[in-house]
Structure 1
Amino acid sequence: MANHLHEGDLPEGLFEGASSLAIDSETMGLNLRRDPLCVVQLSAGDGDAHMVRLDRSSYDCPNLKALLLNPSILKIFHFGRFDIAMFELYLGVTTTPVWCTKIGSKIARTYTDRHGLKDVVKELVGVDLSKAQQSSDWGAAKLSPEQLAYAATDVLHLHAVKEKLETMLIREGRMGLAQACFDFLPHRARLDLAGWGEMDIFAHS
C-alpha cells in the first residue's frame, strides 16, 4: 500500500482499465461558494491512494477531468453531493456515474443514525479511521505526511464499504431505490450550486 502525491493533475493513463474509482476531495471549508477545492484523492481499490494537489490558479487538470467524465468508470463517494458540486463548480465537469456510500448507508442501515465515514467503515470493514487532520490547511503550498495519510484513508476503504452496503441493499429489496438516488445526485449537487441547498423541494410547504 502506497500514497502518491501528484502536482496539478494525474499522470496520463494512470487508471487505464479501471471500472470503478473511490474519490474524495479536500477544500478550505464546507461553503461551496467561499471555500475553494484544493485536493482530490482517488483509489482503484488496490490499496494505493493518489492525491492531486490542484493548481488553483487555473484548475487545469485534463486527465482528472477525463476520469470524472468517463461513463465507463463508476465513481464511489461518501457524501458525494458535496464533492460532485465542487467538481462542477471548479473543474466544470458533471461527474457520472456515481455511487454514494452515505446514501447507501442511510437506505440500508436503518437501525442506526450513524452514517459518517468513520462509523460506517468501523462497522462494515472493521477499520478505525483517524480524523485528526480533517480540519487542516489544505491550501498549503506543501502538504504534510499526516495530511496525505488522512486524505488516503478517505478513499482506501470505499470499495469494501460499497460491496457490503450493496449486499445489504439487495437483501432488503432497496437497491433500486438507492440507484435512483445515485442517479439523481449530480442534479442534487446542481441544485445546491443554484441556491436550493437547504430547501426540501419535495416538501409540501
Structure 2
Amino acid sequence: MTNTVYKGDLPDDLDLGPIVAIDCETMGLLPHRDRLCVVQLSGGDGHAHLVQVAKGQRTAPNLVRLLENPDVLKLFHFGRFDIAAMLNAFGAVAAPVYCTKIASKLVRTYTDRHGLRNLLQDLLGVDISKHQQSSDWGRAELSTAQIDYAASDVLYLHRLREALNVRLLREERMEMAQACFDFLPMRAQLDLAGWPDDDLFAH
C-alpha cells in the first residue's frame, strides 16, 4: 500500500478504474468560506493518491476530467460536502456518484451512527483514527499523520459500498438509494446557491 502526494493535479497517465473513492479536506465546513486543500482518491487497489490544492488554484484539468467522466462512478462518504467543495473550487460537478452515508441511513435505521468510522467498525471490522480531522490542511507540506489519515478516508470505501449494497438489496431499497445518489449533485449545488438548510419539499 502506498500513499502518493501530488501538487495541483493528478498526473496525466493515472488511471484509477471505473469506480473511484474520493474525499476532500478543507479549511473548515463551509464550502463558500473555507477553501479546498486536499483531494484524496483511491481506485480500490489499496493505494491512495492525494492532490494538494494551492490557495487560489481554480483549475485541475485531470481531476476535473475524472469528476465529470460519465463512465466513472465517484464514491463518497457524505458526498454532499465533497461535491460542493470541488464544485466551488473548480466549477466541476461530480457525477455519477454513490454516497455510503446515504446508503447507511437507508439500511441501518436501527442506529443514528452513520459516520465513516462507525460504518467501518460495524460492517468491515476496521478501525480508523480521526485524530487529524481538524488539523491544518492548508500547510505547504502535509505531515505523515495527515497523509495516513487522508488515505484512510478512501481506502475502504469500495468494500464498504459492497457491504452496503448487500443490505440495500436485502431491504429492497436499492432503487430508492439510486434516486438519492442521482439527486446528490443538485443538492450540493443548492448548498452553494444559498439553500443549505432548507427542505424544499417541506410545506
Q: With structure 2 as the length reference, what TM-score do the two structures score?
A: 0.98
Distance 2:115 2:79 in 1: 12
Return 5+ residue gaps in structure 1 as ranges.
none
Partner of 1:12: 12
Partner of 1:155: 154
4+ residue segments displaced more than 6 Å: none
Partner of 2:129: 130
Q: 84-93 or 56-65, which moves further after superposition? A: 56-65
Shift of 1:54: 1.1
Q: 1:155-183: per-residue Cα shift (whole Å, max 9, x none)?
A: 00000000000110011100000000000
Distance 2:12 2:31 in 1: 29
Q: 1:122-176: per-residue Cα shift (whole Å, max 9, x none)?
A: 1111111100000000000110000000000000000000000011001110000
Partner of 1:101: 100
Confirm or deny that 1:200 pairs with 2:182: no
Letter in 2 for 1:167: V
Distance 2:57 2:4 in 1: 22
Shift of 1:58: 2.4
Confirm or deny that 1:2 pairs with 2:2: yes
Partner of 1:64: 63
Shift of 1:201: 1.1
Counterparts of residues 1-205 of structure 1 (less than 5 Å): 1-15=1-15, 18-204=17-203
Q: How high is the sequence identity, in percent, across the aligned residues?
A: 59
Distance 2:13 2:167 in 1: 34
Distance 2:58 2:91 in 1: 9
Letter in 2 for 1:152: A
SS in 1 for 2:88: helix
Q: 3-12 or 56-65, which moves further after superposition? A: 56-65
Q: With structure 1 as the length reference, what TM-score do the two structures score?
A: 0.97
Distance 2:104 2:31 in 1: 24
SS in 2 for 1:105: helix
Q: 1:2-53: per-residue Cα shift (whole Å, max 9, x none)?
A: 110011111112126x110000000000012110000000000000000000
SS in 2 for 1:52: strand
Residues paired across the two proteins, number: 203
Quote the RMSD (CA, aligned, Å): 0.8
Distance 2:57 2:21 in 1: 24
Shift of 1:109: 0.9
Letter in 1 for 2:9: D
Distance 2:200 2:117 in 1: 30
Q: 51-60 or 184-193, which moves further after superposition? A: 51-60
